[in-house]
Chains A and B, each alone.
Chain A
Amino acid sequence: MHDLISNLAMGFGVALSLQNIGLCFIGCVLGTAIGVLPGIGPLPTVAMLLPFTFALDPTGALIMLAGVFYGAQYGGSTTAILARLPGETSSVVTCLDGYAMALKGQAGTALAIAAIGSVFAGIATTLLIAAAGPPLADVALLFQSADYVAVMLLGLVSAVVMAHGSVLKALLMILLGLLLGTVGTDVASGDYRLTMGLDMLADGLGFVPISMGLFGLAEIMVNLETMAGRTAIAKKVGSLWPSRAVLRQAFPAMLRGTAIGAAFGILPGGGPTIAAFSAYSVEKKVARDPSRFGQGAVEGVAAPEAANNAATQSCFIPMLCLGIPPNALMALMVGAMMVHGIQPGPSIITKQPELFWGMIASMAVGNIILVILNLPLIGIWVKLLQVPYAYLFPAIIVFCAVGTYTVDSSTGDVVLMAIFGVLGYVFRKLDCEPAPLMLGLVLGPLLEENFRRAMVLSDGNAMVFLQRPISLGFLIVAALLLAAVLLPSIRRGRQEAFRE
């Protein structure tokens, strides 16, 4: 305990230096801006910023880059709530209830709850990393391929459970996502599958162009058709001060969201998006009246926003403690450290205590900066979105195109985005939700890779999934969820719940 306090004190000493506060501020402002603007995510931003950090000291550089990442979670919720445009993929679920609240004139409350949820999760996770970071990192090492298979199956099942409307359509969308996920290089043999001789397909269909097409472009097309002359952006923000009753309702959801987010952030392959999805489906399960979800339930904003922020921070645990990046952004962070001559690995905590504790302390500082940036100054960010359609739509399309292009400098990805924009529009017309498809696309290749590896490791014995306790546990939960959603009585209740 004494160690923890003195370590944190040292961390704050580093994080509160004028230079590091400044860098943290820059990171948070940039993060909020790219979070607000759909189509530009933290991944390309951090990649683009990387060369500019060469001149900084490593701690300052990492503090700034981290600020971009968690700052984007704050900004992402703003667009999700006000315009039903997820600024980040991790705020897709916030659209559901956040936008519904905005339509009811409670945009201010939704924004405040999102920010409070985020800052609560942010500070709670900061303390968690500080207290449990080093031992917690070992948990990730207990997970083997078979366990990941079970975790991913659970993820797919929960995508069915949380989808609106028809179970059949949700299942079909997941299967379509899994199918799209088979495009690319075979993990074991290195053969090209379904690439049609195009090298741009050799690494599979990109997550960024497809999500921008399905969510960004399709949204614009639907809006153009249905909202001629009417702005999609909630004009009335309303009071930013949530009532005590709303806070009391939201707080348990924040707690659950934080716990779920922290857990998903640590798992390799996890991250803010899956955390937010899971937190939302848990809220719907524990709610006394699930029919409120999708209609502007405050828990539907509080839980995923807490979860995505908790996950963005907790995924630093395996990266900082073990040098193992659990997702693409952390891989970039590892790259940033190596540029500065720091070998990522278990010895960072002992060899570079200022870096480790300084970064952790900076997260607490950054979250406070972000609340100030996002709540009192919400008007400025809203202005960014109150630009008329005639300017906003072309601008969003340009940002989407630029953002997609910058990931791999590939024009093919921009074409892919356009194709999936049209597909996304068709899906909307057919009442098929694109979110399960995305999850299938992301989890499919990981599921296949881990499944095949687990089979190689067990000499072809499929019982391995039942023999490992972690895997068995997740499989049981997945089976229970699936049974729940397929049982006729529950299914009827669920359909009633979704009926408007």
Chain B
Amino acid sequence: MMNRRSILALTASTLAAPRMARAAGFPEGPVTLIVAWPAGGGSDVSMRLVAEALSRRLGVPVLVENRPGAAGTIGHRAIATARPDGQTIGMFSQDAITAQYGNANAPALTEFVPLGFFGEEPGSLQVHPGTGITTLAEYIARAKAAPGKLRNGGNPAPGASFLYMAYYERKLDIRVTKVAYAGYAPTVTAVLSGEVDSGSVPVPDVIEHHNAGRLRLLAVSGAERHFMAPNVPTFRELGHDVVIGGWRSLAAPAGVPADRLAVLRENLLAVFKDTEFQTKARHAGFAVTPGDHARTAAAWVEADTSIYPIMDELGLIKARRKQGT
């Protein structure tokens, strides 16, 4: 028989969180959110915002743990091998997908389950003003006139900005010389100094320099224009079907019980949809495009199918070669 107190408690909880999924005894104590990149970077900053908001919803602390190293492999494996009780989750980006083909030690896609989709960070193409190039069409013409002559700065293979350029080359039928820099900051410096003619790093890292006229953004490879660069067209607007970029999602190790997954998924989606959270994220340079676990799974599969052939073509597949390739 139900006593008055339990009815009250039940009513109160129903009022506070209508139709929210619950799991008995979960979360129990702090939730750890593993980020496979160092403190202070874009991934760290975005996930700290998520952790703060998620902690308020779950009522337990959500602690960001940075586990950088080996192009994300160390952190990704820490997520995959964590006890599948839902107390450990982590950030999952397209780097986790490329890593599994480059490093046999990296965990496979099947070792994770998707939780939610934070947002996208499309690639972009920017040039040094001294090149005299002002439009994407001029860039393509220049690259076609002398294949391999234009130099583009980016990550070492198979890093994100390397893949963006490889994808642009494939789709635009051009060839440039890809020069490797250890991260976005030195790449941007090289574009500013004119050591390379162009760069393929995302908008937030170059927007200040674009506004100051020190480099020129030609196009963004997102489905839509970037909110920080509303005057820069997309590749699509310019007549090229080129959409590629990075994204950030959250994942849990495979094997977390369904009721716990449901709690994490619903609360994450609620966090992403919260307007106050979105404003905060925007302020820090992130466009949040909330997505549930199905959207997340789709992004994983899509990245897997678009990135694999590029890596294969460039001889970057060193592990988990797919059948028939």
- Interface of A with B (CB < 8 Å)? 47, 50-51, 54, 140-145, 185-192, 197, 199-200, 202-203, 268, 322-325, 331-332, 334-336, 338-339, 341, 343-347, 408-410, 449, 453, 456-457
Known interface pairs A344-B208, A347-B208; A197-B105 also in contact (CB < 8 Å): yes
CA distance A31 to B284 in the complex (A): 28
Can you list 12 pairs linking A and B with CB atoms under 8 Å apart?
A: A50-B39, A187-B156, A187-B180, A192-B103, A200-B69, A200-B70, A332-B39, A338-B40, A341-B285, A345-B209, A347-B211, A408-B67
Interface string of B177-201 (1 = CB under 8 A from A): 1011110011011101101100000
Known interface pairs A190-B156, A324-B185, A456-B177; A331-B40 also in contact (CB < 8 Å): yes
Instruction: Kindly count the residue-residue contacts between A and B in the assembled complex, taking CB atoms under 8 Å apart.
Output: 127
Of all chain A residues, which has the CB nearest B204?
A343
Q: Which residues of B contact A453 (CB under 8 A)?
A: 179-181
From B103, B195, B283, contact of A457 by CB (8 A): B195
Q: Is the CB of B208 within 8 A of A408?
A: no
Q: Which residues of A contact B71 (CB under 8 A)?
A: 185, 190, 202
How far apart are B319's CB and chain A's nearest CB, in angstroms?
A: 11
Q: Which residues of A contact B67 (CB under 8 A)?
A: 408-409
Interface residue B158 (Cβ < 8 Å from any Cβ of A): yes
How far apart are B39's CB and chain A's nearest CB, in angstroms?
A: 5
Q: Is the CB of A325 within 8 A of B185?
A: yes
Q: Which residues of B contact A186 (CB under 8 A)?
A: 156
Q: Which of B22-81 contact A (CB under 8 A)?
A: 39-42, 44-45, 48, 65-71, 73-74, 77
Q: Is the CB of A199 within 8 A of B105?
A: yes
Query: How many chain B residues have a CB neighbour from A under 8 Å?
Result: 51
Q: Name the prevailing secondary structure of the B interface residues.
A: mixed
Known interface pairs A325-B185, A335-B41, A335-B44; A145-B195 also in contact (CB < 8 Å): yes
Q: Is the CB of B77 within 8 A of A199?
A: yes
Known interface pairs A187-B156, A334-B40, A457-B195; A202-B45 also in contact (CB < 8 Å): no
Q: Is the CB of B209 within 8 A of A346?
A: yes
How far apart are A206's CB and chain B's nearest CB, in angstroms?
A: 10
Q: Is the CB of A338 within 8 A of B189?
A: no
Of all chain A residues, which has the CB nearest B213?
A346
Of all chain A residues, which has the CB nearest B148?
A459
Known interface pairs A339-B284, A347-B208; A199-B40 also in contact (CB < 8 Å): no
Q: Is the CB of B45 within 8 A of A335?
A: yes
How far apart are B192's CB and chain A's nearest CB, in angstroms?
A: 6
Known interface pairs A332-B40, A338-B45; A343-B207 also in contact (CB < 8 Å): yes
Interface residue B214 (Cβ < 8 Å from any Cβ of A): yes
Q: Which residues of B contact A343 (CB under 8 A)?
A: 204, 207-208, 285
Q: Which residues of A contact B189 (CB under 8 A)?
A: 140-141, 268, 322, 324
How far apart are B195's CB and chain A's nearest CB, in angstroms?
A: 5
Which has the most chain B C-beta neighbours within 10 Å: A47, A200, A346? A346
Interface residue B151 (Cβ < 8 Å from any Cβ of A): yes
Of all chain A residues, which has the CB nearest B73?
A199
From A50, A199, A347, A457, contact of B179 by CB (8 A): A457
Q: Is the CB of B186 within 8 A of A268?
A: yes
Q: Is the CB of B284 within 8 A of A341?
A: yes
Q: Is the CB of B70 within 8 A of A203?
A: yes
Of all chain B residues, which has the CB nearest A145?
B195
Q: Is the CB of A202 within 8 A of B70?
A: yes
How far apart are B15's CB and chain A's nearest CB, in angstroms?
A: 32
Q: Which residues of A contact B186 (CB under 8 A)?
A: 268, 324
Interface residue B245 (Cβ < 8 Å from any Cβ of A): no
Known interface pairs A144-B193, A339-B40; A190-B316 also in contact (CB < 8 Å): yes
CA distance A294 to B170 in the complex (A): 61
Q: Is the CB of B45 within 8 A of A199?
A: no
From B158, B159, B208, B283, contact of A323 by CB (8 A): B208
Q: Which residues of A contact B263 (CB under 8 A)?
A: none
Q: With A190-B102, A345-B207 given, can you name 15 additional A-B contacts, CB distance below 8 Å?
A: A144-B190, A190-B316, A199-B69, A199-B73, A199-B77, A200-B69, A331-B185, A335-B44, A343-B204, A343-B208, A344-B208, A346-B208, A408-B67, A453-B179, A453-B180
Known interface pairs A47-B39, A408-B69; A144-B195 also in contact (CB < 8 Å): yes
